[in-house]
């Protein structure tokens, strides 16, 4: 704002405008140079981050927070504005960089392929020659190497410094040897050059990296979504009783703020005046609004209900509960260890195998025929063949198909490492509210006195509750609608604060309410209804009574309704030998009742927001690979801490942004599909690695000349052909992943699940 103000108050002088105009052309050229320089700098930074993903990611995170802190002045939203760009933009930058380099390099490779004598001979075509056409291959190959190949050399440097050669080292070795040998063949003519093999190898590796970056790119930051929960302004009450709108960042401990109905609570504090129900599910996990009255605590970021509250601020900024959750999310993100990709491990072994084979080849051929051009050609052939195109595509192709197949079956994969880890999960923790349950109260049981039909009692209760918007009223009306009941007309609706509601139905005064209503009406409870209420209480269910004409005629048990799919998902995970746990902020009685109903193995109840990720850590400390399924803001640290975080798609944005996999169809049964797809995908990755590395096991000895004594010697041309064949096989094998059966087994007593959807 200050920058805009300065600009408006101090317009440029006329002579400054003239000076700017006179230099406009020169500045335009300078700007173009600056833009080009900036693009190169950004690409260099991306390459460095690719080489050091963990360290650079943390540095970017730290830089974003420092920068935002300078501009945001502590404001909850502004202080995290740049974070999403730091992570989501980073992966998008990688994707765009490799995409651009792939297309440019492929275009520049076309002349090399057309003027390759070997390809002309194989494919039976020719292109016109002209003076200087013999320089097409070396010139364009040099350009492709400099533009598309140099990035791999830059990314190989950290691997060599860490003494852990991987894919980048293997690629760099192959393209460097091919490049140097091919240039030498121009000056010192040999039997063959590797120009076309060089450019196609670079193109394939760029394609593999592009596919890889596209499949792992993340949308934005979980911390950014958390910050959005806080309102921008608050209504502070002045000493004379008036209100003033102030930025949340200007609130101080001890300030008195007015929170209107439906508004967000701007900071943690204590209610001084007013009564209201506050929606705290996004913070505490409680499945119903929490009643607030003077003396009760409220949490910043929660949503006020229908009442008006005056709250004395007790904590602001970094001291609030929401800020603490944000710190937990960041810590959990940074605590994840770096997992080495399967292809990198294979590439590391191939690197050492290739070097050993090259040394043995050089020694053996020097002894056999003395040192000459043939020896050099054998060694170069071994080193170039050591890096098959297939290895660069073995994993990215499977990841891309895996991502597509998952999306068609209700799963959005945001982290490929987590998808791979899902196959080995030992335990899966489910949040209760909104995941295993509907997150809304419903009628789960009812009882009536003799002579009163259940349907009649439910229809009568629905009539009395027809004008109420309370969650219990909605549950009763929904239960009546599910039974297709027609409610009689009601009149004279009246809400009895803290007790229930009353209306006139068919000339009778009918009441619906809790135990406090019975005390007011002095109604006697029949023995069988008392037993019903006691049993409901043991199951942590709320009991609502129906009184007609002063006589208690029915009782309804209310509870957070268990989702039908939850029964099946627990049974299916048990069939896969996976432990099922439940995590909730609700009471122990409520949690135990749900766990007993579903057959859940482990229960974590009455868990505070700051302790949810600790429960995940407890299972991890037992040596278990843990998955977490949730939907609320309070689940975000646990989702991030878990080895595999799975968010219900209907949940809050922050839960989705914190997770590795999102169930976009909101079906917990997709957790089972996730495990099955993970197993199938990893198996396909292993098969592709075998095909790619198996080519080396076969080709490297032949290139070295093991069978030369019997007249079998692998030429560079045949080696290149085998390299291409290996790539085709890997691509076809990856496509077979689309045939994986993700349908779920029929479970006894349960409705069969919907059939899995194949990819296009």
Give 622-641 pLDDT, tens digit per residue: 999 999 998 766 778 888 89
In the block, tokens 């987590």 appear at 418
Question: Is residue 748's pLDDT more than 70?
Answer: no
Q: Note if 613 is an active site residue.
A: no
Q: Can you tell me which residue has the tokens 């190169």?
A: 40
> What residues form DSSP beta bridges with 259?
309
Tell me the percentage of the chain whose pLDDT exceeds 90.
20
Q: Would you give the DSSP letter of residue 145?
A: I
Q: Which pLDDT does position 549 carry in this prediction?
A: 87
pLDDT of residue 44: 61
Q: How confident is the model at residue 723 (pLDDT cuts 50, 70, 90)?
A: low
Q: How confident is the model at residue 656 (pLDDT cuts 50, 70, 90)?
A: low
pLDDT > 50? residue 165: yes
What pLDDT band is residue 111 in, cutting at 50, 70 and 90?
very high
pLDDT given at position 710: 81
pLDDT value, residue 665: 67
Lowest mean pLDDT among 286-300, 490-504, 524-538: 286-300
Tokens (6 digits) for 659: 């997770």
Distance of CA 694 to the CA centre of its chain: 34
Catalytic site residue from 431, 560, 586, 670: 431
Residue 438's pLDDT is what? 77
The conformation of residue 662, written as its DSSP 8-state character, comes to: E
| Whole-angstrom distance, CA of residue 194 vs CA of residue 495 | 87
Residue-wise pLDDT for 185-204, tens only, equals 887 766 567 788 788 878 87
Q: What is the pLDDT of residues 495-510, one digit of tens each?
A: 887 678 899 998 899 9
413-416 contacts at long range (C-beta below 8 A, 24 or more positions apart):
413/215, 413/660, 413/661, 414/216, 414/218, 414/219, 414/659, 414/660, 414/661, 414/662, 415/216, 415/218, 415/660, 415/661, 416/215, 416/216
Give the lowest-confidence range in 63-72, 310-319, 456-465.
63-72
**Which carries the bigger pLDDT value, residue 691 or residue 114?**
114
pLDDT at 405 over 70: yes
105: its two tokens: 């390099």
The DSSP symbol for 535 reads H
User: Could you tell me the pLDDT band of residue 744, with boundaries at 50, 70 and 90?
Assistant: low
pLDDT digit string, tens, across residues 215-241:
545 433 445 555 666 788 899 999 888
Q: What is the arrangement of strands in the sheet containing 411-413, beginning at the earlier edge strand?
A: 411-413, 661-663, 644-648, 626-630, 427-431, 579-583, 602-604
pTM comes to 0.55
pLDDT the model gives residue 625: 95
pLDDT digits 0-9 by tens, 461-496: 999 988 877 778 888 998 999 899 988 988 988 888
Rg, C-alpha atoms of the chain:
34
Q: What is the mean pLDDT of residues 422-446?
A: 86
Q: Give the per-residue pLDDT at 67.
A: 37
Strands 427-431 and 579-583: parallel
Which token pair is 611? 């302790």
For 76-112, give one letter per residue: b (16+ CB within 10 A) or e.
bbbbbbbbbebbbebbbbbbbbbbebbeebbebbebb
What's the pLDDT score for residue 712?
77
Structural contact between residues 358 and 383, judged by C-beta atoms closer than 8 angstroms: yes
3-state secondary structure of 39: helix
């Amino acid at each position: 704002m200050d920058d805009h103000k300065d600009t408006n108050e101090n317009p440029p002088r006329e002579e400054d405008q003239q000076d700017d105009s006179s230099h406009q052309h020169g500045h335009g050229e300078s700007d173009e140079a600056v833009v080009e320089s900036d693009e190169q700098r950004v690409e260099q930074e991306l390459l460095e981050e690719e080489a050091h993903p963990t360290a650079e990611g943390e540095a970017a995170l730290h830089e974003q927070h420092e920068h935002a802190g300078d501009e945001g002045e502590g404001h909850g939203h502004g202080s995290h504005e740049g974070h999403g760009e730091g992570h989501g933009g980073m992966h998008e930058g990688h994707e765009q960089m490799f995409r651009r380099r792939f297309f440019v390099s492929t275009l520049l490779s076309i002349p090399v392929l057309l003027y390759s004598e070997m390809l002309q001979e194989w494919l039976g075509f020719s292109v016109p020659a002209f003076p200087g056409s013999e320089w097409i291959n070396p010139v364009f190959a040099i350009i492709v190497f400099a533009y598309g190949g140099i990035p791999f050399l830059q990314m190989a440097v950290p691997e060599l410094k860490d003494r852990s050669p991987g894919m980048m080292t293997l690629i760099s070795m192959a393209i460097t040897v091919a490049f140097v040998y091919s240039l030498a063949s121009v000056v010192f003519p040999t039997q063959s050059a590797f120009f076309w093999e060089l450019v196609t190898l670079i193109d394939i590796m760029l394609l593999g990296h592009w596919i890889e970056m596209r499949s792992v790119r993340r949308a934005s930051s979980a911390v950014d979504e958390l910050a959005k929960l806080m309102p921008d302004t608050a209504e502070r009450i002045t000493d004379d009783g008036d209100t003033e709108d102030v930025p949340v960042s200007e609130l101080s401990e001890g300030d008195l703020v007015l929170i209107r109905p439906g508004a967000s609570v701007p900071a943690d504090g204590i209610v001084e005046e007013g009564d209201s129900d506050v929606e705290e599910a996004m913070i505490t996990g409680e499945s119903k609004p929490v009643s607030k009255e003077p003396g009760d605590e409220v949490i910043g970021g929660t949503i006020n209900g229908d009442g008006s509250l005056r709250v004395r601020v007790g904590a602001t900024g970094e001291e609030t509960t929401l800020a603490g959750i944000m710190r937990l999310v960041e810590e959990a993100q940074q605590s994840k260890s770096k997992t080495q990709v399967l292809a990198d491990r294979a590439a590391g072994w191939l690197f050492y195998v290739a070097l050993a084979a090259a040394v043995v080849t050089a020694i053996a051929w020097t002894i056999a025929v003395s040192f000459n051009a043939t020896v050099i050609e054998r060694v170069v052939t071994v080193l170039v063949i050591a890096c098959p195109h297939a290895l660069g595509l073995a994993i990215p192709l499977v990841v891309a198909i895996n991502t597509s197949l998952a999306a068609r079956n209700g799963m959005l994969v945001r982290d490929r490492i987590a998808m791979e880890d899902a196959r080995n999960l030992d335990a899966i923790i489910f949040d209760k509210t909104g995941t295993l349950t509907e997150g809304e109260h419903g009628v789960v049981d009812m009882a009536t006195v003799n002579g009163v039909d259940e349907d009649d009692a439910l229809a009568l209760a629905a009539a009395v509750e027809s004008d109420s918007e309370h969650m219990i009223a909605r549950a009763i009306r929904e239960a009546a609608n599910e039974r297709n009941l027609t409610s009689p007309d009601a009149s004279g609706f009246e809400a009895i604060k803290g007790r229930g509601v009353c209306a006139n139905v068919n000339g009778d005064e009918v009441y619906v309410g809790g135990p406090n209503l019975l005390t007011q009406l002095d109604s006697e409870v029949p023995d069988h209804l008392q037993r019903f209420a006691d049993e409901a209480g043991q199951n942590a269910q709320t009991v609502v009574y129906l009184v007609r004409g002063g006589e208690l005629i029915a009782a309804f048990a209310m509870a957070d309704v268990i989702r039908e799919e939850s029964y099946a998902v627990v049974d299916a995970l048990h069939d896969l030998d996976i432990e099922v746990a439940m995590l909730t902020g609700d009471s122990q009685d409520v949690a135990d009742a749900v766990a007993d109903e579903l057959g859940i193995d482990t229960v974590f109840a009455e868990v505070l927001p700051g302790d949810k990720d600790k429960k995940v850590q407890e299972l991890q400390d037992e040596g278990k690979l843990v998955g977490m399924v949730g939907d609320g803001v309070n689940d975000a640290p646990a989702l991030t801490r878990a080895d595999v975080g799975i968010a219900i798609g209907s949940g809050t944005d922050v839960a989705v942004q914190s997770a590795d996999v999102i169930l976009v169809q909101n079906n917990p049964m997709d957790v089972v599909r996730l495990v099955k797809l993970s197993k199938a995908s990893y198996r396909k990755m292993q098969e592709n690695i075998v095909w790619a590395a198996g080519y080396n096991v076969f080709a490297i000895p032949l290139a070295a000349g093991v069978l030369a004594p019997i007249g079998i010697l692998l030429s560079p041309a045949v080696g290149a052909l085998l390299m291409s064949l290996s790539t085709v096989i890997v691509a076809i094998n990856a496509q077979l992943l689309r045939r994986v059966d993700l349908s779920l087994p029929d479970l006894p007593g349960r409705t069969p699940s919907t059939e899995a959807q194949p990819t296009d």
